[in-house]
Structure 1
Amino acid sequence: MLAAQSSLAESIDGDELRSEDGEERRTEKPTANYYCLYVYQAGGISQCSENANEGSPGSSGADSPPGDDFSLSLVDTNLPAETEPELRNFMAKRLSRGAMFEGMGNVASVDLSYPECSLGCYYCLIQQMDNEPGSQALEHVVCFIGGSEKGLDLFRLELDRYIEELKTKIQTGNLDSDIRPYLSSWFEDSILPIQRIVTLFQEKLAYLLHAALSYTTVEMTNSDERTKNDISSFLSSASLQGLVQEGTMTSLCIAMTERQHHTVTVDFREGQPELLNAVSNRFCEDWMQFFINSYDGGSPFLFRQKLENFKLKAIQDMNNLKRLIRQAESSHHALFRCYNFLKNCGNGDILLQMVKVEHSEMPEASSVVAVLEEFIQEEGFSVHNC
């Protein structure tokens, strides 16, 4: 079950948000973002400094303060020179408490003298093996700084995936041509895709939301690589993967793949997205309006919070339907309530498909779903084709 998400009335990126009437009140300010890459090695400062200077391109040789049995040596950063030692001290404290595990990103709040505000900081310890057999693993600490702790935490999974690619670049790439450009693009590549998709699709966003919830295959044609990646990222973020039972998700993916006529095509031949074979419903259209009403003034963190709330509502409706189905196994009145719920929730076409897959091996529940399908077929769901 998805944990309850924070209210949109809370601040997720340093701005005050208000959603009771569907509007947001926010203070405009630039979104500063930075990165920092360190070499980390336990076993003494002098040893680490020597290794860092010999083996890390661009290393400054600047180390964490003495007193800890490890060292952080700067490889690259776009932080101001006077601010970077503050971040290094912050990370040294985290490391001294044993608060980091390889490949598992964490998010915290860090106070820096410039900019003069508290910023979110995603940090991760990454390990690469040297090519020489028996050699000691070389470890790095990477930090991405921007937004607030609460806002950045919404993108933890995206940043974890971004780190995986960074490992390869550190292993085989060049600092100037590979590593530094990749580090510099973390905010645009990991944080901004959702905002770009909302801006690009606007009213057509409802079709992408429906495709994400229903695990419908989406193909892109005549599109540049960044837009393809943005759409894939949005579909992944908007899907219920990880929030429903794995077996249900797999079965639903197979069922939707077999229904080839439900494959959605997004064509950019004319520069703007044109969708073919796309389907939407009232639930997705209502949420689409919630997104686009602030697309020109919203922050990327606000959009991500809205997407989390969108998924939360879908999960809540699915749980309510499953509860009604259990009751309907022994009550005709509950069966009628199931029918009314499916007709009125605006998302009945997707919910019915989900519970059909999940209850396929439960005879009593399957019979209830079969009756619901028969009733629904007589009137049909209110879905809209592109």
Structure 2
Amino acid sequence: LFTCQTSSFQESIDVDERDADFDNEEIAGYSQKIQQINSYYAIYYYQNTSLTLLDASLPPEAEPELRSYISRRLSKGALLGGMGNIATVELSIPEQAVGCYCCLLEQEKSPEQPDADGNGWVVILNTFSLTLQTFRIELDKYVQGLQGCLTPELRTNLETEVRPYLNRWYEESVMHIHKVVQLLQANVGYLLHAALSHKLFEVTGADEKTKADIARFIKAASLQGLVQEDTLCKAISEDSHSSLIIDCSTSPPTLTNKVSNRFCNDWIQAFLNAAERFNPFLLRQILENFKLKAIQDMNNLKRFIRQAEMSHYALFRCCLFLQSCGNGDVLLQNARAEHSSLPEACGIIKVLEEFLGEHAQGTLY
């Protein structure tokens, strides 16, 4: 059982080796390609089934191809207001096939424009990566930030607001995980643990952009939305007495009240390797694998706890599992919050906590 779990875990953190089986020269070339990445945008005004180009950073020969593609999508009703859609599109640009994010921002009705129903702006964001889907939530939120400054003509604020905003989409929506890993380096394990354990945190000595990047990283690494909300609230309240302090006034940043464990530490090198290759999409995939493995272990623990209520052997297996997974503190914290109303399960969890405490011998479990 535990051999299989270890193998599965190793496959999770080795995602970069599986997905990019390059020799050293190929890795160098691939990294250079990503560092020189081209990202594009286009914005159209959509009215009465017609598209009017307002601005674009695409090469001139590629824009008509993109417009044709978007027109087909709109005619099929494939773009829903406010919800991004991602597909692969062939365009006359160096990358040829690009990941294309499309979002229709519907125009609000007003007394001045009573016939605006169905009108809106189509925002297109392109990059060479075909895995743009992993950042769809961030892209949706970023594009929504345009809503307040859009007009049918964009005559007054194109240069001052809209174009600078769209030019920053890749940096703002895709690169935050990479920037945090580059900033924290090996200390990223403490952020991973803080995310899993719902630990409160505070960033000092940093500009607002860095603070936002760290907050987004921790949110992306957390299990928010993947575990029951009441469990999350109970787990947060348990650990609210000591916040993780990240002081960015020093280089590297200094962390106070930092806690990690073997599970989180085992993922550090995978993050550092992907960051060194300058691959934000690989970083996101590793982050998702990290969360998936944590959830799998949580589900395994819940199953073992149910079995342990009826079998001493199952309780022993549960102890072995917690020792081997390296994430016992986080798993028990969540289990304790989730089973707080079940006396028998709470008794099992207390025994498990005592067992791990006796066998920790000064090491993190």
Under a length normalisation based on structure 2, what TM-score does the superposition of the two structures give? 0.87
2:58 to 69, 79, 85: 79
Q: Is the 8 A contact 2:13 2:270 kept in 1?
A: no
Q: Is the 8 A contact 1:38 1:76 kept in 2?
A: yes
Q: Is the 8 A contact 1:24 1:294 kept in 2?
A: no
Residue 343 (1) aligns with residue 323 (2): yes
Q: Is the 8 A contact 1:104 1:160 kept in 2?
A: yes
Distance 1:123 1:91 in 2: 8
Three-state SS of the structure 1 residue aligned to 2:260 is: strand
1:179 to 152, 162, 186: 162
Give matches, 1:74-223, under 5 Å: 74-132=53-111, 135=114, 136-137=116-117, 138-149=119-130, 151-170=131-150, 174-223=157-206
Residue 33 (1) aligns with residue 39 (2): yes
Q: Which has the larger displacement, 288-297 or 224-233?
A: 288-297
Three-state SS of the structure 2 residue aligned to 1:383 is: coil
Cα–Cα, structure 1 residues 274 and 9, in superposed 2: closer, same or farther, change >3 Å?
A: closer
Cα–Cα, structure 1 residues 25 and 368, in superposed 2: closer, same or farther, change >3 Å?
A: farther
Q: Is the 8 A contact 1:264 1:278 kept in 2?
A: yes
Give matches, 1:1-386, under 5 Å: 8=15, 17-18=20-21, 27=30, 28-29=32-33, 30-42=36-48, 70-132=49-111, 135=114, 136-137=116-117, 138-149=119-130, 151-170=131-150, 174-257=157-240, 260-261=241-242, 263-380=243-360, 382-383=363-364
Q: Is the 8 A contact 1:17 1:25 kept in 2?
A: no
Distance 1:333 1:126 in 2: 58
Q: Is the 8 A contact 2:274 2:280 kept in 1?
A: no
Residue by residue over 1:246-285, the C-alpha shift from the partner in whole angstroms, topping out at 9 and shown as x without a partner, is 222222223222xx22x00111222431111111111111
Under a length normalisation based on structure 1, what TM-score does the superposition of the two structures give? 0.83
Task: After TM superposition, give the deviation of residue 141 of structure 1 in Å.
Answer: 0.8
Q: Which has the larger displacement, 248-257 or 221-230?
A: 248-257
Q: Is the 8 A contact 1:109 1:118 kept in 2?
A: yes
Three-state SS of the structure 1 residue aligned to 2:354 is: helix
Cα–Cα, structure 1 residues 98 and 276, in superposed 2: closer, same or farther, change >3 Å?
A: same
Distance 1:26 1:18 in 2: 13
Residue by residue over 1:188-234, the C-alpha shift from the partner in whole angstroms, topping out at 9 and shown as x without a partner, is 00111111111111111111111111111110111012211110111
Cα–Cα, structure 1 residues 223 and 153, in superposed 2: closer, same or farther, change >3 Å?
A: same
Distance 2:76 2:29 in 1: 37
Cα–Cα, structure 1 residues 198 and 324, in superposed 2: closer, same or farther, change >3 Å?
A: same
Indicate the RMSD between aligned Cα atoms, in angstroms.
Answer: 2.5
Task: After TM superposition, give the deviation of residue 6 of structure 1 in Å.
Answer: 12
Distance 2:93 2:221 in 1: 35
Q: Is the 8 A contact 1:17 1:26 kept in 2?
A: no
Task: After TM superposition, give the deviation of residue 114 of structure 1 in Å.
Answer: 1.4
Partner of 1:63: none
Q: Is the 8 A contact 1:36 1:79 kept in 2?
A: yes
Q: How many residues align?
A: 343
- Name segments (4+ residues, structure 1) moved above 4 Å: 23-26
Cα–Cα, structure 1 residues 6 and 347, in superposed 2: closer, same or farther, change >3 Å?
A: closer
How much identity, in percent, do the aligned residues show?
A: 48
Task: After TM superposition, give the deviation of residue 170 of structure 1 in Å.
Answer: 2.2
**Alignment-mate amino acid for residue 148 of structure 1:** S
Task: After TM superposition, give the deviation of residue 333 of structure 1 in Å.
Answer: 0.6
Q: Is the 8 A contact 2:309 2:344 kept in 1?
A: yes
Residue by residue over 1:36-60, the C-alpha shift from the partner in whole angstroms, topping out at 9 and shown as x without a partner, is 1111123xxxxxxxxxxxxxxxxxx
Task: After TM superposition, give the deviation of residue 131 of structure 1 in Å.
Answer: 4.1
Q: Which has the higher helix share?
A: 2
- For structure 1, the residue ranges without an aligned partner over 5 or more in a row are 43-69
Distance 1:74 1:156 in 2: 23
Q: Is the 8 A contact 1:33 1:146 kept in 2?
A: yes
Distance 1:97 1:129 in 2: 22
Distance 1:382 1:246 in 2: 31
